[in-house]
Every structure is written in structure tokens, then in C-alpha cells.
């Protein structure tokens, strides 16, 4: 099968997207909206397509290694992997926050109850 190389326009468009997107994500990371893990995982959306466009021979080599005919299938596979890894971490983090939130609400209500009891005792003396 002939290796089809991406056109100059494709490379330019993907590189521009990658650059702008990564700058936006970097800005948000510096603002503290994302942590380093989020930055790396979100950057993959730009890095992986850019890698496939800028290094087509590497893309064909990877698709050959994985036994997949078209490199873009490998690229989407890699993107799905990143998305699922990110979702996995996010779900775990969400459940942890849910548990912590529940414990905090319980704790707050019990402390308020203890405080009321102490105030009643003090008034009773």
C-alpha cells in the first residue's frame, strides 16, 4: 500500500490548532484552573494529531506495528485511550469529592448539635 503523505495545508492547519489549543490550556493551567495532570492529558488532543501530521513515517510505522491499515484509526484509538484514562481519573476524583462532601455536611450538622447541647448546659448552670 502506498504511503499517502499529508498536504502542507493539513500540516499547517493541525499545527496551528495544536499551538493555539496548547496555549489556551497552558494559560488555564497557569491560572490554576487545571493541574499538571489535566494539562498533559488535555494537551494530548493537540499533540497526537500534530505528531501524526508532522511525522507521517512514524504514523505508518505505528500502524504497521499495531496491524492497523490506516494511521488515522491508530490516532483515534490513542485519543480514546487518553480520554478514557482521563475519565477514569475524573470519576474516581468525583466520587472521592462526593464522599468528602457528605462527610463534611454530616460533621457540620453534628458539631452544630454538640454546640447547641453545650450552650444548653451552660445556660442550665
Could you list the residues that contact other proteins (CB under 8 A)? Answer: 101-102, 105-106, 108-110, 112-113, 116-117
Q: Which is nearer to other proteins, 58 or 110 (CB)?
A: 110
Looking at the Cβ atoms of 7 and 108, the one nearer to other proteins is 108
What is the closest distance, in whole angstroms, from the C-beta atom of residue 38 to other proteins in the complex? 27
Task: State the nearest-atom distance from the C-beta of 76 to other proteins, in Å.
Answer: 31
Please provide the DSSP assignment of the chain as one string.
Answer: ---PPPPHHHHHHHHHHHHHHHHHHHHHHHTTSS-HHHHHHHHHHHHHHHHHHH-HHHHHHHHHHHT-S-HHHHHHHHHHHHHHHHHHHHHHHHHHHHHHHHHHHHHHHHHHHHHHHHHHHHHH-
Least distance from C-beta 95 to other proteins, angstroms? Answer: 10
Nearer to other proteins by Cβ, of 90 and 113: the residue is 113
Amino acid at each position: 500500500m502506498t504511503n499517502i503523505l499529508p498536504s502542507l495545508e493539513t500540516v499547517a492547519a493541525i499545527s496551528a490548532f495544536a499551538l493555539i489549543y496548547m496555549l489556551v490550556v497552558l494559560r488555564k493551567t497557569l491560572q490554576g484552573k487545571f493541574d499538571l495532570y489535566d494539562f498533559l492529558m488535555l494537551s494530548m488532543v493537540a499533540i497526537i494529531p500534530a505528531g501524526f501530521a508532522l511525522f507521517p513515517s512514524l504514523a505508518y510505522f505505528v500502524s504497521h506495528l499495531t496491524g492497523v491499515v490506516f494511521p488515522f484509526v491508530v490516532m483515534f484509538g490513542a485519543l480514546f485511550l487518553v480520554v478514557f484514562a482521563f475519565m477514569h481519573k475524573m470519576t474516581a476524583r468525583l466520587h472521592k469529592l462526593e464522599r468528602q462532601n457528605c462527610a463534611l455536611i454530616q460533621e457540620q450538622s453534628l458539631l452544630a448539635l454538640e454546640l447547641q447541647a453545650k450552650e444548653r448546659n451552660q445556660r442550665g448552670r
